[in-house]
Structure 1
Amino acid sequence: MILPTDSLLKYDCPVLVSKNTERKSPRSRPLKVSPQQIVESGPVPPPPKPKSPSADASKQQTEEILNAILPPREWMEDSQLWVQAVSSAPCTRMDVIHLQEQLDRSLQARQARETGICPVRRELYSQCFDELIRQVTINCAERGLLLLQVRDEIRMTIAAYQTLYESSVAFGMRKALQAEHGMADMENKLKTSLLVIIFLL
């Protein structure tokens, strides 16, 4: 299995989504989800302790919010669809330290510029911010949604500046071309005037 590009955002294990073409009964579903599981040999572990319904509902709500603000990534491989959702595991202090180290390594490995406009640096910091949103959302969904609004506002501002920059560059190029054509016209007029003066003399 070929995984997509590595990201600073933490994901769960990929899940294979394959079409079920053999319909044995009218109630069969068109899609079948089969997560990858590693079968380990050894004694059978004891059954897990039952969780309270409120804890399960809270976890499910957190996963739904995470999937809404950070959609799962999908890719095709050998005519099979793979889906990978963001992780809903709580983070620790060591996870934050590891994220900082991973960000520094990625900036150095991809040779991101420290100053000026750099798409690589912007992409990595955007991934880091998404990971921070994921970590905060798990602990407090409301705070995570507020950070999501901040992220979207920043992206809108950057997009507006980018559009303004591109339009200003295009305007400058048009003015430069007009100036070149104007200089050529002026040179032609000067040559014509000189020829007329020489002819009159």
Structure 2
Amino acid sequence: MRLNEPTRCPWCGDDPLYRDYHDREWGVPQRDDRVLFEFLLLEGAQAGLSWITILKKRENYRRALDSFDPQAIARYGDQERQRLLADPGIVRNRLKIESAIRNAQAFLEVQENFGSFDAYLWRFVEGKPLTNHWQRMEQVPVATPAAEALSRDLRQRGFKFVGPTICYSLMQAVGMVNDHLASCYRHSEVMKRRSSDK
């Protein structure tokens, strides 16, 4: 660690892209539906892969998926499917591509039923971020009862690639839980922001 570098969660390592994501986005309460949809699709794309792999492809996904516009993606047909399968900038997995389209359709249904995806999603933590105080990475769970409940509900609504582990990763990413280690400088910063973006 360089002199005067703040203490961070060890998972982001020394990669500048990973550090920037950790320092600016991960764990910050997010209420914007478009951003929530982006994380939903990216977390699904990550299944079986490392997050840094997806993070490096994020701009490619934005380009390939109409800037994560759920209305556009929900209308994708065979031509768009073939285009995505041929795109080397994203994960060319047929099931994941199909799930992105299906999830866009289900996302729009949730927006219609709840007024926003934000309103739907944050119900699973009663509208407020949960703050944990983990001391070591080994203490951080891969899923929780809230993530399991979210996973069940999403699957009932037709979403794909939304298992409990993916759902908990989503919850961490969009700040529904603050899982920065207590020693990480972002832990207290994220706490201050809690629900200020609402």
**TM-score under structure 2 length normalisation:** 0.27
Greater CA radius of gyration, 1 or 2? 1
TM-score of the two chains, using structure 1 as the length reference: 0.27
Which structure's residues are more often strand, by fraction? 1
Q: Per chain length, whose mean CA-contact separation is higher, i.e. which structure has more relative contact order (CA < 8 Å, sep 6+)?
A: 2
